[in-house]
Amino acid sequence: MMTRLTQLQDQYIQLAYGNGGRFMRELIDNLFAYHLHNPLLDTHADAAVIPSNNNQEIMVTTDGFTVKPLEFPGGNIGSLAVHGTVNDLCVSGALPKYLTLNAFIEEGLEIAQLDRIILSLATAARDSNVVVVAGDTKVLARGEGGGLYLATTGIGERKRKLGMEQIAPNDVVLISGSIGDHGTAVMLAREQFGMRGDLHSDSASVLPLAQALWQIPGLKFMRDPTRGGLASVLHEICQVTGLSVRLFEPQIPIRDSVRSVCEMLGYDPYYLACEGRIVAVVAAETADLALATLQAFPSVPPAAKIGLLLEGEPHLILETELGGERFLEQLEDEPLPRIC
Amino acid sequence: MMTRLTQLQDQYIQLAYGNGGRFMRELIDNLFAYHLHNPLLDTHADAAVIPSNNNQEIMVTTDGFTVKPLEFPGGNIGSLAVHGTVNDLCVSGALPKYLTLNAFIEEGLEIAQLDRIILSLATAARDSNVVVVAGDTKVLARGEGGGLYLATTGIGERKRKLGMEQIAPNDVVLISGSIGDHGTAVMLAREQFGMRGDLHSDSASVLPLAQALWQIPGLKFMRDPTRGGLASVLHEICQVTGLSVRLFEPQIPIRDSVRSVCEMLGYDPYYLACEGRIVAVVAAETADLALATLQAFPSVPPAAKIGLLLEGEPHLILETELGGERFLEQLEDEPLPRIC
């Protein structure tokens, strides 16, 4: 499986690539298995055996990916499908080890594009030290898909117990870097907006950051603020804990370019997806240590302490630069589907 | 999570049900978690912890589901998404334990239909003693999906080592029941064919059958003949083992109604999907025991010995009723997309 025996003869995906016969076998062997080969992946088996590691608790997560366009500055749906699931494990306190992959491919997708995407996926997996152990492909008739949808399920080993139930008043909220980069980069990559910018998605594995944070006493909870952004993560914390979250606007890292795009298009950066950031809730005593740990990983603008947990009504309140207060409400409409 | 707090207020899925905010939370809590609730599923966590069982090897599989129509006689995409993945584990020799679920929902899908489907999924999971431990939903804009696509990843405990590498000349091929039922039932459920029949999909968990077969010495390999049907499973065996497979046409169980539909529409039942059958390869000495084991589970027509592994070119040969021979070629075109 290390060498590509033949190039696929077509330029575009045909329905026959999904039929269980010769073309499907060629697609799997010459594209998916070619990029994703590893000792555990056997394309002739219905299930993969995972080496057992007895003293480890296992954690599982799953995520679907529908981003449009399929390729955008800073990544594509393939790298995103690894980062999204790897990051869900990392923020849950688990070391990512294995992935499974589902691909829903629309008839007519250019095979060269699919090849680039699966190569990115393989590279991102290798960089995060995870292997794809099982997969499935389906081909959808033209008009019944969005080019390509992916789903990845991740399996990891638990290294740290974290959870919203540990959150208490006076805990500190930290963010590992700027917010809104992914959302605005994908927005601008859509031709419909007729805008161009130098924005890049922050799509990345947070594994190194998470591994460093796992060592911090007083770390209570982490989440990667993807769909619905920072505000939606903090809203969920309010609802589950019954506490209030107070955010300090001047401390929230947002790139100027992201702020400009949001102002022009009428988006609120607090609700835009990030794909390589961590929101962490840490006890007040170790918040400075956690911040220093995060800032050891260079980021422009850098990681910051951005908020506090407080007794009170479960509201998310933004304290503005001028000392005013703004309630950040729960997201109701959907301004931007297929962002991740 | 045991009681449905509120009914969703809309009749159809809107884009806002995918935004990470209030509507998405309501969809997840009042529909998905309502049907799928179990102690391991926490819709406020990014990953689930799986209880560890130290002396067990773990197996993993994944499958995507795109069947059209979403509901058909004998099942729907929800029950199918459980049976397909549970069966992949069973035929691999693993006891299914946990599932993850991805849903790609098209804007405009009727919520009552989604509710029926997820209820079926939950019922099928309960019947197979598996729990859904993690999930993800995405909502696609109208025209960018096919109503509903699902992906399930299954995790199980290995109970029996099976594999194509164990297959040898003189081994016997068995099938646990009739072929082509799912393919023809789904075909007839599509209005485009303008036909009606009393055909039902065979969609079912093969767990009881598989558990019985795991006890048989000489059991070497099992597969559920889904996409591409019986012929595609046997072709793969030919290619991987380098052996020839000889099928005996009169012994292959096919319902008369399935045969009639295939003749009318020009389909070959050997290539049509089953969703509740096992193809098993067994050593000659224990083939009768395996057959008796399968026949202890009532099926009309019953399980049968249908073929032999032989030295020779890796071809799949059908010996016809009249003593002639027909080569069953590898599937090349795709007559029937979105069958599973």
- Report residue A23: phi and psi, to 5°: -65, -40
Both tokens of residue A173?
Answer: 């909220």
Pick the closest to residue A147 from A66, A62, A26, A72 (CA basis).
Answer: A66
- pLDDT for residue B8 is more than 60: yes
Which residues of chain B have a CB within 8 Å of the CB of A46?
A: 61, 88-89, 91-92, 223-224
Dist CA A282 CA A308 (whole Å): 10
Check if the beta carbon of residue A318 is closer than 8 Å to that of residue A235: no
Pick the closest to residue A318 from A271, A261, A280, A258 (CA basis).
Answer: A271
- For an interface test with B, which of A38, A56, A144, A206 has the most B Cβ atoms less than 10 Å from its Cβ? A144
- pLDDT for residue A81 is more than 70: yes
**Alpha carbon of A16: minimum distance to chain B alpha carbons (Å):** 5
Q: Are the Cβ atoms of B46 and A61 closer than 8 angstroms?
A: yes
Q: Are the Cβ atoms of A240 and B44 closer than 8 angstroms?
A: yes
- pLDDT for residue B233 is more than 80: yes
Which residues of chain A have a CB within 8 Å of the CB of B64?
A: 102-104, 136-138, 151
Nearest CA in chain A to B153: A153
- pLDDT for residue A1 is more than 50: no
Name residues whose C-beta falls within 8 Å of residue A307's C-beta, 6 or more positions apart in sequence: A172, A173, A234, A245, A246, A247, A248
Q: Which CATH class is domain A48-158?
A: alpha beta
Q: Are the Cβ atoms of A16 and B149 closer than 8 angstroms?
A: no
- pLDDT, one tens digit per residue, over B153-175 is 999 999 999 999 999 999 999 99
Q: Are the Cβ atoms of A47 and B59 closer than 8 angstroms?
A: yes
- pLDDT for residue B2 is more than 60: no
Which residues of chain B have a CB within 8 Å of the CB of A66?
A: 104, 138, 140
Check if the beta carbon of residue B146 is closer than 8 Å to that of residue B68: yes
Both tokens of residue B177?
Answer: 């029941």
- Report residue B248: phi and psi, to 5°: -110, 105
Dist CA A21 CA A41 (whole Å): 20
Please, which residues bridge with residue A21 across strands? none
> Percent of chain B scored above 90 by pLDDT?
85
Mean pLDDT calculated for residue range B119-141: 97
Pick the closest to residue A43 from A149, A151, A137, A148 (CA basis).
Answer: A137
Mean pLDDT calculated for residue range B132-158: 97
Query: Would you kindly state where each structural domain of chain A is located, as residue ranges?
Result: 48-158, 164-327
Name residues whose C-beta falls within 8 Å of residue B160's C-beta, 6 or more positions apart in sequence: B93, B214, B219
Alpha-carbon distances, residue A56 vs A217, B134, B228 (angstroms): 21, 19, 39
Strand order in the sheet with B279-282: B219-223, B279-282, B172-175, B304-310, B244-248, B316-319, B325-327
Name residues whose C-beta falls within 8 Å of residue B318's C-beta, 6 or more positions apart in sequence: B247, B249, B270, B325, B326, B327, B328
Which residues of chain B have a CB within 8 Å of the CB of A59?
A: 47-50
Check if the beta carbon of residue B173 is closer than 8 Å to that of residue B309: yes
- For an interface test with A, which of B50, B153, B167, B182 has the most A Cβ atoms less than 10 Å from its Cβ? B153
- pLDDT for residue B194 is more than 80: no
Which residues of chain A have a CB within 8 Å of the CB of B151?
A: 64, 102, 104, 136, 151
pLDDT score recorded for residue B6: 60
pLDDT score recorded for residue B3: 60
Mean per-residue pLDDT over chain B, rounded: 94
- List, in sequence order, every beta strand (DSSP E) within B78-227: 94-106, 131-140, 148-158, 172-175, 219-223
What are the DSSP calls for B236-297, one per residue? HHHHHH--EEEEEGGGS---HHHHHHHHHHT--GGGS--SS--EEEE-GGGHHHHHHHHHTS
- Higher pLDDT among residues A42 and B303, named by residue: B303
- pLDDT for residue B43 is more than 90: no
- pLDDT for residue B248 is more than 90: yes
pLDDT score recorded for residue B54: 72
Both tokens of residue A257?
Answer: 């370019």
Mean pLDDT calculated for residue range B241-268: 95
Structure confidence at residue A5 as a pLDDT band (50, 70, 90) = low
Both tokens of residue B127?
Answer: 């019947």
- pLDDT, one tens digit per residue, over A56-67 is 899 999 999 999
- Report residue A63: phi and psi, to 5°: -155, 145
Verify cis geometry, omega within 30 degrees of 0, for the bond prior to A301: yes
Q: Are the Cβ atoms of A337 and B141 closer than 8 angstroms?
A: yes
**Alpha carbon of B293: minimum distance to chain A alpha carbons (Å):** 23
pLDDT score recorded for residue A221: 98
Chain centroid to Cα B304, Å, comes to 20
Q: Are the Cβ atoms of A22 and B331 closer than 8 angstroms?
A: yes
Check if the beta carbon of residue A97 is closer than 8 Å to that of residue A130: yes
What is the count of residue pairs from A and B with beta carbons less than 8 Å apart? 245
- Report residue B149: phi and psi, to 5°: -115, 140
In this structure, chain A runs to a length of: 340
Mean pLDDT calculated for residue range A89-107: 97
Pick the closest to residue A208 from A181, A177, A178 (CA basis).
Answer: A177
Compare CB distances from B19 to A21, A145, A228 and report the shortest one's residue.
A228
Dist CA A158 CA A258 (whole Å): 35
pLDDT score recorded for residue A3: 60
- pLDDT, one tens digit per residue, over A158-187 is 999 999 999 999 999 999 999 999 999 999
Q: Are the Cβ atoms of A22 and B158 closer than 8 angstroms?
A: no
Which residues of chain B have a CB within 8 Å of the CB of A145?
A: 144-146
- List, in sequence order, every beta strand (DSSP E) within B25-147: 48-50, 58-65, 71-72, 75-76, 94-106, 131-140
- pLDDT for residue B5 is more than 60: no
pLDDT score recorded for residue A336: 80
- pLDDT for residue B195 is more than 90: no
Q: Which CATH class is domain A164-327?
A: alpha beta
Which residues of chain A have a CB within 8 Å of the CB of B88?
A: 46-47
Mean pLDDT calculated for residue range B290-318: 96
- pLDDT for residue A219 is more than 90: yes
Which residues of chain A have a CB within 8 Å of the CB of B235?
A: 21
Compare CB distances from B15 to A54, A94, A337 and report the shortest one's residue.
A337
Pick the closest to residue A92 from A32, A162, A43 (CA basis).
Answer: A162
Structure confidence at residue B1 as a pLDDT band (50, 70, 90) = very low
Q: Are the Cβ atoms of B60 and A164 closer than 8 angstroms?
A: no
pLDDT score recorded for residue B145: 95
pLDDT score recorded for residue A52: 76
- pLDDT, one tens digit per residue, over A243-297 is 999 999 999 999 999 999 999 889 999 999 999 999 999 999 999 999 999 999 9
Mean pLDDT calculated for residue range A133-153: 97
